[in-house]
Amino acid sequence: MGRMIQRKEHNEPMENLGFLQQPDGRMEAEVQGMKNTTTTWTTKMCRSYLDRRTMWEALDSTIWRSLDYKLRATTITKKQGDEIEKRLYRPLMLRLGATRMLPLTFR
């Protein structure tokens, strides 16, 4: 027998293919999820004892790949993207061996 289709509210997010979608098309839940993921990862990396090269490799191969996958499937504004990026780079810049004042273009 088949399963019943569960009714969802228009603003209730559901996880689908690794990211949160809302039936009304808004991305607030996904943006908040990306911010939380970024903050958690950054906090752990700042407390770690990894050298700069390993930090760059971890940035490129773990969190950035995860964000890149999600960004291709979302419709967020530039402002929301900048907020996520700030949470990622601001705490890590010194650990990565770069100045915090480095323009976003070069990060």
DSSP 79-107: HHHHHHHHHHHHHHTTTTT--TT--GGG-
Closest by CA position to 96, among listed 67, 66, 106: 106
Length, in residues, of the chain: 107
pLDDT at 61: 92
107, pLDDT greater than 60: no
106, pLDDT greater than 80: no
Q: Could you give the percent of the chain with pLDDT greater than 90?
A: 18
Do residues 52 and 95 make contact, with C-beta atoms less than 8 angstroms apart?
Answer: yes
Instruction: List the end-to-end C-alpha distance of the chain, in Å, as a whole number.
Output: 53
The string of pLDDT tens digits covering residues 34-59 is: 999 999 999 999 898 889 899 889 98
